[in-house]
Amino acid sequence: MDHSECIFCKIARGEIPCAKIYETQNILSFLDISPSAPGHALIIPKAHFPTVLEVDPALGPDLITAFGKVGRAVMAATGATGMNVMLNCNESAGQVVFHTHWHVIPRIEGDGLRLWPGGKYDSMQEMSALAEKIRALVA
């Protein structure tokens, strides 16, 4: 696959400007151009992985470090008291840019953002059966 036209590859290569806030050898973080709240940041691996399902697990520590460093700084800069770290995988989940990225969204009490509408199972049995089905499919 040719990634030359990928917008986040272009940002990672410095060909398109971004409001950069954190950079290491493997990771880049910059502000989302269309924020859910001021300070909404994106964290990307510089390497091109279309979705989270393809990400090299070796990047785990770099990503966890970035969540902490970027998250603390975003919260301190905006006065937020919390944050959501989110990722969209595939179009049905709202993914638009197919160079995987995590959203860091600063939160404060009463900001009105509603990200996790809660549902319910009809029974504990239904829940257990689904857990069993998923457990059997974990590769």
Active site residue 101: yes
Give whichever of 77 and 127 is closer to ligand 5GP, judged by the CB atom.
Answer: 77
Does position 51 interact with ligand 5GP (CB under 6 A)? The reply is no
Give whichever of 4 and 123 is closer to ligand 5GP, judged by the CB atom.
Answer: 4
Residue reference for tokens 């090299």: 56
Does position 88 interact with ligand 5GP (CB under 6 A)? The reply is yes
Measured in degrees and rounded to the nearest 5, phi and psi for residue 65 equal -60, -45
Cβ atoms of residues 90 and 54 within 8 Å: no
User: Can you tell me which of 3, 6, 26, 32 binds ligand 5GP, judged by CB under 6 A?
Assistant: 32
Q: What angle do CA 41, 7, 74 make, to 5 degrees?
A: 10
Residue 18: closest CA among 4, 27, 26, 8: 8
Q: Which residues are catalytic?
A: 101
Binding site for ligand 5GP (CB under 6 A): 7, 18, 30-34, 88, 94-97
